[in-house]
Structure 1
Amino acid sequence: MKVVILVLDSVGIGELPDAHLYNDTGSNTLGNIVKALPDLKLPNISRLGMGNIDKNIGLRPDSDPLGAYGKAIEMSKGKDTTTGHWEISGIVLDKPFPTFPKGFSKELIEIIERKIGVSIIGNVVGSGTKIIENYGEEHLQTGKPIVYTSADSVFQIAMHEDVIPIARQYEICEDIRSLLKDPYEVGRVIARPFVGTKDNFTRTANRKDFSIKPIYNTILDNVKNEGKEVVAIGKINDIFSGSGITQWKKTTDNNHGIQETITYIKQDFDGLIFTNLIDFDMHYGHRRDVEGYGKCLMEFDRQLPMLMKELKSEDVLIITADHGNDPTASGTDHTREHIPILVYGKSIKKGVNIGTRASFADIGATITDMLDISRPIHGTSFWRTIQKE
């Protein structure tokens, strides 16, 4: 048996009860896109029950949905990628990863410069595309890495591939990761390689995230410890720092992620396939591109049946998200939202409403019941509710 988790990165479905604490009142990534784009068509994900979850999503409810459906609240503090994925896998954080809305301290930057042997430029908050537009030429002239952050808990370093080779870029990130201890222990250090010349800089697919290691065992560890496979597709391996993972594939975009997921569904093994589809968040959410986000959703929806038909009779597909990133909101930050839960497979009851789950971790607890392994510390399984007799 395989359980396939597809994380539609940032496809939240409405503000959480505490959204006001994060300045996210009114956020609803999917719902506000549907509202803004009257011609948006998502027939396949709607057929699974997405429109049945909540009327505020704005999709027409299906009269006989193919899957079980519901939504989940984030118990952890924060609204970043690492926190969301970790909670899905069974870790609930009682404090958020630190953020640096004014950049990093002079003292920290000096420590980093001594460690990596070169001065840095930037140390500002901003969008990655604007960062290389503003600092790219100076970087080409001086060879100094560009450091920046965002409203997320990240330390990002942009370096031109012709100036600093990829291997060295990764070494620099690893050195910085080793230095970032409390109170600077961000969720991720991210290499952001780019190429090109002035007025034509573009980021490449050689991005790499250096996350902190999970603070205790996740469902990935539990699946692996039972001798089953854990396949990480997209940035999943980076998010978990390789913990509990037996195989991994880096991807260039959503299409590549879907194709790799299908490739592994076809293989003969028991275990977990954990896929992150990043385009929604990276290309459209942070850039507040409503139309582009909508087109990306429709492209995923068109490809969904191709993936579903490859599932074997015992396999289960779970479609969810890790946070929101409402492209109609102000700023460029993630938004604090519920995540959808859609569960499909021949062993799953059709049309079951699992309601509003108290934690993303309920997904992980349910998966461990599906695979008959030990449960994570957090989460309540809904397996008996959706399992066919």
Structure 2
Amino acid sequence: MVVDSFGAGGARDAAAFGDEGADTMGHIAQATPGWKIPVLMKLGLGSLRPLAHQTPDPAPVGRYGFLNEASAGKDTMTGHWEMMGLKIDTPFQTFGHFPPALIEALERETGRRVIGNRPASGTQILEELAPEEIATGHMIVYTSADSVLQICGNEETFGLQELYRCCEIARRLTMKPEWKVGRVIARPYVGKKPGEFVRTANRRDYALKPFGHTVLDSLKDAGFEVISVGKIRDIFDGEGITEAIHSDSSVQGMEQTIDLTKRDFTGLVFTNLVDFDAKWGHRRNVPGYAREVEAFDERLGELMQALRPDDLLLVTADHGNDPTWTGTDHTRERVPLLAWSPSMKQGGPLPEQDTFAAIGRLVAENFGVPVPEMAELKTQPAIEL
């Protein structure tokens, strides 16, 4: 279960990314004296590191530790791919403004003029440019300082299928090395005037395919089920997935995950909870982020109650997105790993890991399938639960 962007601060190489001092969970705790996260604290979050206004549980039930990212990046795809055994040595392309040649090609092939072409908050750029798009049929293109090209389209005037068509063209164009971004994202919305614009759940991500074999592929090839909840299917472009469940929100993603505990299957449920990142981190909204964690904490308790004795719960993150930080970009941070099973006899600390792929290794060894071949894992002690 990936709490998207719930970084734990203190990445060893944060300064190289301009993020020295960033601390997603630490700064949220500092700014939120009444923060209620009892289940996370019971699992060991407060024992993992001090959190302002929080008292560590004297007897945490979970195992808890830090994961460091080995890949050259701090985005969603890089984090998730590394978890499943793929290290990114060359970061995906990021742009402040997309090159004129790319914009010209996009306009020529879609038949629509591009407006925007800058880093922006998705809600902010709608307030500024959606009236023009609605009136003229022009196409809003923007980025978020991540390796993404995003296109907005009003579902009533632009049309959902037309938006998807334009994004498919953009994905094909951005396969060129000089323009290659990790994802092209369709961002549909509704509304007729500023103050009324709302993005809908019909978002669609057009991601690159993983460049190599992942733990998900190993599980699927061995006949295990790999059920994705949320945007996991998009992140891996469907590779290694046996069933994909779309989520409209992080709350719904938790509810869907709880429902899956009632099914009889053998394999992995891989859940991404995106609202922490998309709704609150990028928008630098500390109270919203804190409330989202509280809602997650409540449902996490329900999930734990529903697990069977031989189930294992792993809670982690894919990067940071400190809502107190400058700009709107992700932040390079360590991430937490909280592990718990109803059959676990006691909690306690886990050794700090040098790669997110320690998760993939743990999953692979659990099911007896091939372990990732990352060099960082060869000298890394396995996580023992």
Q: 1:23 to 1:383 in 2, by over 3 A?
A: closer
Indicate the residue corresponding to 1:160 in structure 2: 154
- AA at the equivalent of 1:291: P
| TM-score normalised per structure 2 | 0.96
Indicate the residue corresponding to 1:60 in structure 2: 55
Shift of 1:167: 2.1
1:120 pairs, out of 114, 138, 148, with 114
- AA at the equivalent of 2:81: W
Indicate the residue corresponding to 1:385 in structure 2: 384
Equivalent-residue separation in structure 2 for 1:357 and 1:61 (angstroms): 22
Please list, as runs of the form range in 1=range in 2, the aligned pairs for 1:75-86 lying within 5 A after superposition: 75-86=70-81
Indicate the residue corresponding to 2:183 in structure 1: 188
Return 5+ residue gaps in structure 2 as ranges.
none
Equivalent-residue separation in structure 1 for 2:345 and 2:12 (angstroms): 29
Cα shift readout 1:267-298 (whole Å, capped 9, x = no counterpart): 11111100011111111111111111111111
Q: 1:116 to 1:201 in 2, by over 3 A?
A: same
Shift of 1:61: 2.4
**Would you say 1:33 and 2:32 are equivalent positions?**
no
Shift of 1:56: 5.7
Please list, as runs of the form range in 1=range in 2, the aligned pairs for 1:36-115 lying within 5 A after superposition: 36-55=31-50, 59-101=54-96, 103-115=97-109
| TM-score normalised per structure 1 | 0.95
Shift of 1:21: 1.3
Contact map agreement 1:370 1:383 (CA 8 A) in 2 = no
The SS at the match of 1:385 is coil
1:330 pairs, out of 316, 322, 326, with 326
Shift of 1:35: 0.8
Equivalent-residue separation in structure 1 for 2:53 and 2:332 (angstroms): 19
Equivalent-residue separation in structure 2 for 1:176 and 1:349 (angstroms): 52
Indicate the residue corresponding to 1:138 in structure 2: 132
Cα shift readout 1:53-94 (whole Å, capped 9, x = no counterpart): 123677432222111110100000111111111111111111
Count of residue correspondences: 380
The SS at the match of 2:156 is coil
Shift of 1:171: 2.0
Return 5+ residue gaps in structure 1 as ranges.
1-5
Equivalent-residue separation in structure 2 for 1:176 and 1:375 (angstroms): 35
Q: 1:28 to 1:72 in 2, by over 3 A?
A: same
Indicate the residue corresponding to 2:285 in structure 1: 289
- AA at the equivalent of 1:305: G
- AA at the equivalent of 2:103: I
Equivalent-residue separation in structure 2 for 1:175 and 1:263 (angstroms): 37
1:269 pairs, out of 258, 265, 283, with 265
- AA at the equivalent of 2:37: L
Contact map agreement 2:255 2:299 (CA 8 A) in 1 = no
Equivalent-residue separation in structure 2 for 1:309 and 1:351 (angstroms): 17
Contact map agreement 1:234 1:251 (CA 8 A) in 2 = yes
- AA at the equivalent of 1:107: A
- AA at the equivalent of 1:299: A
The SS at the match of 1:313 is coil
1:339 pairs, out of 327, 330, 335, with 335
Equivalent-residue separation in structure 2 for 1:185 and 1:105 (angstroms): 12
Equivalent-residue separation in structure 2 for 1:133 and 1:248 (angstroms): 33
**Would you say 1:252 and 2:229 are equivalent positions?**
no
